[in-house]
Structure 1
Amino acid sequence: MKSYTYIFCFLLTIYFTNTYAQECNNSVHTGEGTFYDGVAGGTFGNCSLPVATGDYMHCALNNFDYDGSNACGACIEVTGAKGSVILNVVDRCPECASGDVDMTMEAFEMIADVIDGRVPISWKFVPCETISNNETIKINFKEGSSEFWTAIQFREINHAVSKMEYQLPDNTWKNTNRELFNFFIETSGIASPMNLRVTSILGEELIFENIVLNLNEDFDTGLQFSTPSECQEILSIDNIPLPTNILYPNPTSEILYIKNNSAKWILSDSEGKIIDQGTTDTVDMSALNPGIYFIIQKNRQTEKIIKR
């Protein structure tokens, strides 16, 4: 019993100490895929990015991978049992666990059956050329911006923006803070016209010169982040194995089913206390209080369970 409690604590340590990084062809993330209504037809997502009416190829990332809005505008390739889909990150899922992706039903249908509701997925960051049609970067000034308070957002990006700076009169560059809703804000304002320097998540720098503050329309920079050749070579993650033991329904109020179970499991609460264990393909959770639980298997595979 103590050994499984140790395994649980060990896994939680790994869970919370992952180093976040967006790189082309970087390590594959795993988690659960779910679906929601999406934010098509406005700028309703947490990233404040416009999503066209009828555009369902977008998603919300969990808090960890959202990374304080650093992931906004990036693209991810999500793979499930039925296939893969490339989605634009435009929203945040506060209740999602690390690695989870909440997508539109239309996108979810491309990787799994809707009736499943919650499914294991693999995903990674990829360049956005496939959905941006090689558009150049646009600069949007938030309503209320002026030379005394300036809020800037970058749109139609091939790779996520990691930093924005503006040029001071002495030709040095000043870094600008980024808010959770994906605007770089200088509370003391930036004089117009302005020179801006942006850095992509891959480290590429672009300088946009003589940008005039305009609240009526986005400024077309005529420039775009490039994609190194090594990022073009391996975009598919179809061969990444998904977890074989699928837990459903999740959330659940009574019986949890473990599909393809072939190993001993441990049911633990969020504090690591062991509640039950067995080798069956069902777990009776009807007597438990609502909350978050974990199924831990002998091979150290762990799944989060929500009890309604």
Structure 2
Amino acid sequence: MMFQFNLIVGLVYSVVVQAAIKDDIIHMYKNKFNGDGTYYGPTDGGTCQYDPPSKPPAGLNPIIRNFVALNKPQFLGSYSCGMCFKVNSNGQGLGTNPIKGHFVVFVADLCPECKTGSLDFAINGDGRWKIEIQAVQCPVGNTKLEYKFQGSNSYYIKLQIRNARIPAVAVKIKQNGSWKAMSHSADGFWILSDQKPVPTHNIDVQITAANGETVHDTIPELVNAKVLHGSQKVQFALDGNLPTA
């Protein structure tokens, strides 16, 4: 009885957290936020672990001007990894390298000390500049969702969902014919760890975006540290209710 009670409490808590994260993400698309733009220099990897040379195609789109570290409040424990933001700035601030213009950036890292509305740019520069940001759907073009396993085996799955037009807020994986919800990690992965194995080939996943759209895909094989493409070649559809890059 106690096990069942704890299981129910855990499921309810997971649903509540997922709903809150979904609302927080959509809020970033629907509103503009004022903050500071700063610089922390070129870096590889970052909290979101988009290690070179396997950068997501959306981040390499010519529309993207810079990779950035997002402020901690809006990073949402890494749910915001891979999001895109439109930046507006008139160069107001202090320093020698003003941030000016209207452009789009890609979230690849966390700025722990940054406040809401602020970005730390992964390029060399100097100063603190006033910026305005708003989330936009990433410019994925015709590219599809990508996947990357880390330290995984049939009993422990750690999976990165990459190159999403809109960030995922829930992921399930098929295990022994049933869908099992995966938990989200602080470094932008999805984890399943229990006593029942997951297939190492033709791995079925169900992915839900922040706007509620759900897609299904099949990952051909469980291979660690390699960017993989699903056999069903899916991507979240362009949402007419959310701004675009």
Give the counterpart of 2:147 among 139, 147, 155.
Answer: 139
The DSSP-based 3-state class of the residue aligned with 2:26 is: coil
Mapping of residues 279-290 of structure 1, within 5 Å: none
Mapping of residues 45-124 of structure 1, within 5 Å: 45-52=46-53, 57-81=66-90, 82-105=100-123, 117-124=127-134
Report the Cα offset of residue 204 of structure 1: 0.9
Cα distance in structure 2, aligned partners of 1:209 and 1:119: 44
Report the Cα offset of residue 48 of structure 1: 0.7
Report the Cα offset of residue 38 of structure 1: 3.2
Give the counterpart of 1:212 among 194, 198, 221.
Answer: 221
Cα distance in structure 1, aligned partners of 2:228 and 2:37: 35
8 Å contact kept, 2:175–2:199: no
8 Å contact kept, 2:206–2:217: yes
Per-residue displacement from partner, 1:227-268 (whole Å, max 9, x unpaired)?
A: 12233xx558xxxxxxxxxxxxxxxxxxxxxxxxxxxxxxxx
Report the Cα offset of residue 26 of structure 1: 0.9
Give the counterpart of 2:240 among 226, 229, 239.
Answer: 229
Cα distance in structure 2, aligned partners of 1:21 and 1:210: 26
The DSSP-based 3-state class of the residue aligned with 2:25 is: coil
Per-residue displacement from partner, 1:240-299 (whole Å, max 9, x unpaired)?
A: xxxxxxxxxxxxxxxxxxxxxxxxxxxxxxxxxxxxxxxxxxxxxxxxxxxxxxxxxxxx
Go from structure 1 to structure 2 and tell me whether the alpha carbon gap of 1:48 and 1:145 turns closer, same or farther (over 3 Å shift): same
Go from structure 1 to structure 2 and tell me whether the alpha carbon gap of 1:128 and 1:20 turns closer, same or farther (over 3 Å shift): same
Letter in 2 for 1:63: K
Cα distance in structure 2, aligned partners of 1:210 and 1:49: 19
Report the Cα offset of residue 105 of structure 1: 3.5
Report the Cα offset of residue 90 of structure 1: 0.5
Normalising by structure 1, we get a TM-score of: 0.59
Cα distance in structure 1, aligned partners of 2:160 and 2:182: 12
Structure with higher Rg: it is 1
Provide the residue aligned with 1:290 in structure 2.
Answer: none
Cα distance in structure 2, aligned partners of 1:135 and 1:66: 24
Provide the residue aligned with 1:167 in structure 2.
Answer: 174
Cα distance in structure 2, aligned partners of 1:203 and 1:176: 17
Go from structure 1 to structure 2 and tell me whether the alpha carbon gap of 1:167 and 1:217 turns closer, same or farther (over 3 Å shift): same
Matched, 1:26 2:30: yes
For structure 1, the residue ranges without an aligned partner over 5 or more in a row are 1-18, 107-113, 237-308
Provide the residue aligned with 1:35 in structure 2.
Answer: 39
For structure 2, the residue ranges without an aligned partner over 5 or more in a row are 1-22, 91-99
8 Å contact kept, 1:38–1:59: no
Alignment RMSD (CA, Å)? 2.4
- The number of residue pairs the alignment matches comes to 200
Question: Identity of paired residues, percent?
Answer: 23
Per-residue displacement from partner, 1:60-82 (whole Å, max 9, x unpaired)?
A: 01111000110001111111113
Provide the residue aligned with 2:8 in structure 1.
Answer: none
The DSSP-based 3-state class of the residue aligned with 2:241 is: helix
Cα distance in structure 1, aligned partners of 2:211 and 2:235: 13
Report the Cα offset of residue 216 of structure 1: 5.8
Letter in 2 for 1:65: Q
Per-residue displacement from partner, 1:103-123 (whole Å, max 9, x unpaired)?
A: 1337xxxxxxx55x1111111
Cα distance in structure 2, aligned partners of 1:45 and 1:176: 23
Cα distance in structure 1, aligned partners of 2:27 and 2:236: 13
Report the Cα offset of residue 49 of structure 1: 1.5
Q: Which contiguous aligned blocks of 4+ residues in structure 1 show a shift greater than 6 angstroms?
A: none
8 Å contact kept, 1:76–1:126: yes
Cα distance in structure 2, aligned partners of 1:147 and 1:191: 6
Matched, 1:186 2:186: no
8 Å contact kept, 1:147–1:191: yes
Provide the residue aligned with 2:3 in structure 1.
Answer: none
Normalising by structure 2, we get a TM-score of: 0.73
